């Protein structure tokens, strides 16, 4: 764990333990590079301006990333933004956020197949990958206690958005349908979409409700640790995995590794 490329102080640990105002992104290091690195960096600088009032700057971010990775060629890097000047009693500071980097071994994929429970829930400021995770963990916990693997979020009218830590896509023959709703636009989702044509698929974004699930003959989830995982059930609606899952994974793999 490093903050602005240096070992954290006791005060840093104290703030991080008590205040969860911030945002982050995370990704795998492969052969010293990252798929979609430019998108992750743009995401972080956008969050910096929106949440703290000032950008970090791409060059500065890259310096901190290189310091965190060192000479490792493979691993998992989480990059978070926070500021000790912002906490419940002083929410209005406009500051350049500090950069927390945590390097660890790559996590395994979430699963190879999942059954999802529909839960009415929406993340706060859903377009931001922020550090407030109570609702996400609680939703996943409740889904598992009900006998499912994970949760799928909808609004009160059944409009589907996302899962606790992933995007969902639906399959209708050779078309991927991404749901349109308040949600986080995932980097993995965007990289898959960019390369669908190369694997014989196309992609569209449109509203999808629970009542629409009969239109589809497949479903999957995706994030940086899990490029394509089959969804085999949403509630009592079943889906049979097929070779399109491998084509989705190939679309992800078609994104080139970008140097830090």
Q: What's the confidence (pLDDT) of residue 164? A: 97
The partner residues of 168 in beta bridges, in order of sequence, read 221
- With b meaning 16 or more CB within 10 Å and e meaning fewer, what string describes 117-142? bbbebbbeebebbbbeeebbeebbee
113-259 has the same fold as 2-104: no
Q: What's the confidence (pLDDT) of residue 74? A: 97
Residues in the chain: 260
Q: What's the confidence (pLDDT) of residue 137? A: 97
The partner residues of 238 in beta bridges, in order of sequence, read 233
Q: What's the confidence (pLDDT) of residue 256? A: 96
- Residue 65 CB partners (closer than 8 Å, separation 6+): 77, 79, 101, 260
Output the CA–CA distances (angstroms, integers) from residue 156 to 118, 122, 136, 213, 224, in the order listed.
11, 10, 17, 16, 29
Look up the pTM and report it: 0.94
Percent with pLDDT over 70 in the chain:
100
Domain residue spans of the chain: 2-104, 113-259
| pLDDT tens, residue by residue, 157-188 | 999 999 999 999 999 999 999 999 999 999 99
The residue assigned the tokens 């009218």 is 157
**113-259 topology per CATH:** D-amino Acid Aminotransferase; Chain A, domain 2 (3.20.10)
| pLDDT tens, residue by residue, 45-82 | 999 999 999 999 999 999 999 999 999 999 999 999 99
**What's 36's DSSP letter?**
T
Q: What's the confidence (pLDDT) of residue 251? A: 98
- Per residue, what are the HEC states of 51-93? HHECCCCHHHHHHHHHHHHCCCCCEEEEEEEECCCCECCECCC
Q: Where are the beta strands (DSSP E) in the chain?
A: 2-3, 23-29, 33-35, 75-82, 98-104, 113-120, 150-154, 167-172, 175-179, 202-206, 218-223, 226-234, 237-238, 257-259
Return the SS3 of 116.
strand
Q: 2-104 architecture in CATH?
A: 2-Layer Sandwich (3.30)
| pLDDT tens, residue by residue, 118-162 | 999 999 999 999 999 999 999 999 999 999 999 999 999 999 999
Nearest 5°: the CA angle 21, 30, 3 is: 30
| pLDDT tens, residue by residue, 94-114 | 999 999 999 999 999 999 999
Q: What's the confidence (pLDDT) of residue 97? A: 98
Q: What's the confidence (pLDDT) of residue 58? A: 95
Q: What's the confidence (pLDDT) of residue 31? A: 96
């Amino acid at each position: 764990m490093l903050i602005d490329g240096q070992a954290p102080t006791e005060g840093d640990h104290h703030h991080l333990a008590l205040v969860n105002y911030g945002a982050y992104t995370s990704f795998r290091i492969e052969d010293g590079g990252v798929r979609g690195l430019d998108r992750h960096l743009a995401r972080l600088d956008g969050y910096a301006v929106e949440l703290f009032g000032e950008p970090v700057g791409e060059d500065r971010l890259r310096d901190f990333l290189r310091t965190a990775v060192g000479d490792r060629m493979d691993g998992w890097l989480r990059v978070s933004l926070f500021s000790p000047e912002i906490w419940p009693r002083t929410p209005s500071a406009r500051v350049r956020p500090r950069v927390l980097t945590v390097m660890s071994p790559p996590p395994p994929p979430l699963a190879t197949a999942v059954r999802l429970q529909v839960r009415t829930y929406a993340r706060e400021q859903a377009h931001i990958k922020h550090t407030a995770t109570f609702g996400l963990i609680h939703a996943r916990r409740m889904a598992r206690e009900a006998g499912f693997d994970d949760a799928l979020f909808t609004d009160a009218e059944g409009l589907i958005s996302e899962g606790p830590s992933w995007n969902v896509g639906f399959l209708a023959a050779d078309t991927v349908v991404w749901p349109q709703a308040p949600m986080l636009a995932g980097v993995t989702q965007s990289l898959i979409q960019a390369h669908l044509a190369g694997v014989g698929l196309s992609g569209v974004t449109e509203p999808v409700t629970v009542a629409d699930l009969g239109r589809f003959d497949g479903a999957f989830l995706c994030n940086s640790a899990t490029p394509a995982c089959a969804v085999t059930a949403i509630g009592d609606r079943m889906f049979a995995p097929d070779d399109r899952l491998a084509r989705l994974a190939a679309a992800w793999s078609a994104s080139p590794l970008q140097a830090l």
